Amino acid sequence: MSEIASAFQKKLLPGEQLLFVVEDLYFSVLFVPNITPEENYSCQRSGSLCLTNRRIIAILSDGNVWKWFHFSAINSLTERPLNAYKPSWPYQAIMIIPGGMGLVVQTQNPKDVEHATQLQNLLVQGFMKYGVRRDDDGAMAAIIAHEERRRREAEQDKRK
Protein backbone atom coordinates (compact mmCIF):
# COMPACT_ATOMS: atom_id res chain seq x y z
CA MET A 1 0.00 0.00 0.00
CA SER A 2 1.39 3.41 -0.97
CA GLU A 3 1.99 6.21 1.54
CA ILE A 4 -1.02 8.15 0.19
CA ALA A 5 -3.33 5.12 0.29
CA SER A 6 -2.16 4.51 3.86
CA ALA A 7 -2.96 8.14 4.76
CA PHE A 8 -6.48 7.71 3.32
CA GLN A 9 -6.87 4.42 5.21
CA LYS A 10 -6.04 6.17 8.51
CA LYS A 11 -8.81 8.75 7.92
CA LEU A 12 -11.57 6.17 7.49
CA LEU A 13 -14.38 5.97 10.00
CA PRO A 14 -15.57 2.72 11.59
CA GLY A 15 -17.36 0.67 8.93
CA GLU A 16 -15.94 2.74 6.08
CA GLN A 17 -14.05 0.95 3.31
CA LEU A 18 -11.50 2.28 0.86
CA LEU A 19 -12.67 1.39 -2.67
CA PHE A 20 -10.32 3.30 -5.02
CA VAL A 21 -7.28 5.56 -4.74
CA VAL A 22 -5.81 7.54 -7.62
CA GLU A 23 -2.57 9.40 -6.97
CA ASP A 24 -0.47 11.93 -8.89
CA LEU A 25 -3.29 14.27 -9.88
CA TYR A 26 -3.66 18.03 -10.26
CA PHE A 27 -6.57 20.02 -8.84
CA SER A 28 -8.19 23.42 -8.95
CA VAL A 29 -11.04 24.62 -6.73
CA LEU A 30 -13.52 27.15 -8.12
CA PHE A 31 -16.94 28.39 -7.09
CA VAL A 32 -20.25 28.65 -8.92
CA PRO A 33 -20.89 30.61 -11.13
CA ASN A 34 -17.18 31.03 -11.99
CA ILE A 35 -16.92 27.46 -13.22
CA THR A 36 -18.46 26.17 -16.41
CA PRO A 37 -18.45 22.67 -17.90
CA GLU A 38 -17.13 23.77 -21.29
CA GLU A 39 -13.95 25.44 -20.00
CA ASN A 40 -10.49 23.87 -20.00
CA TYR A 41 -9.01 24.83 -16.65
CA SER A 42 -5.42 25.03 -15.51
CA CYS A 43 -4.86 22.85 -12.45
CA GLN A 44 -1.90 23.79 -10.25
CA ARG A 45 -2.34 21.94 -6.95
CA SER A 46 -1.05 18.40 -6.70
CA GLY A 47 -2.92 15.72 -4.83
CA SER A 48 -4.79 12.44 -4.76
CA LEU A 49 -8.38 11.28 -4.71
CA CYS A 50 -10.10 8.33 -3.07
CA LEU A 51 -13.55 6.81 -3.15
CA THR A 52 -14.96 5.07 -0.09
CA ASN A 53 -18.28 3.41 0.53
CA ARG A 54 -19.46 6.66 2.23
CA ARG A 55 -17.71 9.61 0.58
CA ILE A 56 -15.03 10.96 -1.72
CA ILE A 57 -11.87 12.40 -0.20
CA ALA A 58 -9.42 14.66 -2.00
CA ILE A 59 -6.01 15.56 -0.63
CA LEU A 60 -4.66 18.80 -2.15
CA SER A 61 -1.31 20.46 -1.62
CA ASP A 62 -0.82 24.21 -1.88
CA GLY A 63 2.93 23.72 -1.69
CA ASN A 64 3.07 24.24 2.07
CA VAL A 65 0.32 22.15 3.63
CA TRP A 66 -1.99 19.33 2.66
CA LYS A 67 -5.72 20.07 2.71
CA TRP A 68 -8.37 17.40 2.96
CA PHE A 69 -11.76 17.78 1.23
CA HIS A 70 -14.54 15.36 2.13
CA PHE A 71 -17.81 15.25 0.23
CA SER A 72 -20.64 12.78 -0.09
CA ALA A 73 -22.59 14.30 -2.97
CA ILE A 74 -21.86 15.38 -6.54
CA ASN A 75 -24.27 17.60 -8.46
CA SER A 76 -22.65 17.06 -11.83
CA LEU A 77 -19.64 15.49 -13.48
CA THR A 78 -18.17 16.72 -16.75
CA GLU A 79 -15.27 14.88 -18.39
CA ARG A 80 -12.72 15.86 -21.00
CA PRO A 81 -11.29 12.52 -22.13
CA LEU A 82 -7.93 12.09 -23.80
CA ASN A 83 -8.18 13.21 -27.40
CA ALA A 84 -5.93 12.67 -30.42
CA TYR A 85 -6.77 16.19 -31.65
CA LYS A 86 -5.32 17.71 -28.46
CA PRO A 87 -2.51 15.29 -27.57
CA SER A 88 -1.00 17.67 -24.98
CA TRP A 89 -4.22 17.87 -22.93
CA PRO A 90 -4.59 15.43 -20.03
CA TYR A 91 -7.82 13.82 -18.93
CA GLN A 92 -9.78 16.43 -16.97
CA ALA A 93 -13.03 16.26 -15.03
CA ILE A 94 -15.15 18.90 -13.32
CA MET A 95 -17.29 17.99 -10.34
CA ILE A 96 -19.84 20.45 -9.06
CA ILE A 97 -20.34 19.76 -5.37
CA PRO A 98 -23.25 20.97 -3.18
CA GLY A 99 -22.66 24.39 -1.71
CA GLY A 100 -21.56 25.89 -5.00
CA MET A 101 -18.02 24.52 -5.09
CA GLY A 102 -16.43 23.08 -8.21
CA LEU A 103 -13.50 20.70 -8.07
CA VAL A 104 -11.44 20.32 -11.25
CA VAL A 105 -9.20 17.25 -11.33
CA GLN A 106 -6.84 16.07 -14.04
CA THR A 107 -4.12 13.56 -14.69
CA GLN A 108 -0.52 14.71 -14.93
CA ASN A 109 0.49 12.96 -18.13
CA PRO A 110 -1.69 13.26 -21.27
CA LYS A 111 -0.17 10.05 -22.66
CA ASP A 112 -0.98 7.85 -19.65
CA VAL A 113 -4.19 6.13 -20.75
CA GLU A 114 -4.16 3.73 -17.78
CA HIS A 115 -3.99 6.60 -15.25
CA ALA A 116 -6.79 8.45 -17.08
CA THR A 117 -8.91 5.30 -17.04
CA GLN A 118 -8.32 4.83 -13.30
CA LEU A 119 -9.41 8.40 -12.58
CA GLN A 120 -12.42 8.12 -14.88
CA ASN A 121 -13.53 4.88 -13.19
CA LEU A 122 -13.24 6.44 -9.72
CA LEU A 123 -15.20 9.54 -10.76
CA VAL A 124 -17.95 7.75 -12.65
CA GLN A 125 -18.44 5.25 -9.83
CA GLY A 126 -18.44 8.13 -7.34
CA PHE A 127 -21.01 10.00 -9.42
CA MET A 128 -23.22 6.92 -9.74
CA LYS A 129 -22.97 6.36 -5.99
CA TYR A 130 -23.20 9.98 -4.76
CA GLY A 131 -24.90 11.85 -7.61
CA VAL A 132 -27.47 14.32 -6.29
CA ARG A 133 -30.99 14.08 -7.61
CA ARG A 134 -32.28 17.35 -6.19
CA ASP A 135 -31.63 21.09 -6.43
CA ASP A 136 -28.54 22.54 -4.78
CA ASP A 137 -29.61 25.49 -2.63
CA GLY A 138 -25.98 26.52 -1.99
CA ALA A 139 -25.19 26.78 -5.69
CA MET A 140 -28.40 28.73 -6.30
CA ALA A 141 -27.49 31.15 -3.49
CA ALA A 142 -24.01 31.63 -5.00
CA ILE A 143 -25.49 32.37 -8.43
CA ILE A 144 -27.99 34.85 -6.98
CA ALA A 145 -25.23 36.60 -4.98
CA HIS A 146 -23.07 36.79 -8.11
CA GLU A 147 -25.90 38.27 -10.19
CA GLU A 148 -26.69 40.79 -7.45
CA ARG A 149 -23.02 41.85 -7.31
CA ARG A 150 -23.01 42.29 -11.11
CA ARG A 151 -26.21 44.35 -10.91
CA ARG A 152 -24.71 46.66 -8.23
CA GLU A 153 -21.50 47.08 -10.24
CA ALA A 154 -23.52 47.97 -13.35
CA GLU A 155 -25.49 50.58 -11.37
CA GLN A 156 -22.26 52.09 -10.03
CA ASP A 157 -20.84 52.25 -13.55
CA LYS A 158 -23.99 54.08 -14.76
CA ARG A 159 -23.59 56.69 -11.98
CA LYS A 160 -20.02 57.51 -12.99
Q: What CATH number does residue 120 fall under?
A: 2.30.29.30
Residue 121 to residue 23: CA distance in whole angstroms: 13
CA dihedral (148, 101, 35, 32) in degrees, to 10, reads -10
The pTM for the full model equals 0.81
Q: Specify the pLDDT at position 22.
A: 97
Residue 128 to residue 145: CA distance in whole angstroms: 30
Q: Nearest Cα to 75, choosing from 132, 143, 8?
A: 132
Instruction: Give the domain extent around 18.
Output: 3-159
Could you tell me if 105 and 49 are in contact, meaning their C-beta atoms sit under 8 angstroms apart? yes
* pLDDT tens, residue by residue, 108-125: 999 999 999 999 999 999
Q: Specify the pLDDT at position 25.
A: 97
Q: Nearest Cα to 95, choosing from 158, 151, 25?
A: 25
* pLDDT tens, residue by residue, 49-106: 999 999 999 999 888 898 999 999 998 999 999 999 999 999 999 999 988 899 999 9
Q: Count up the domains in the chain and report the number.
A: 1
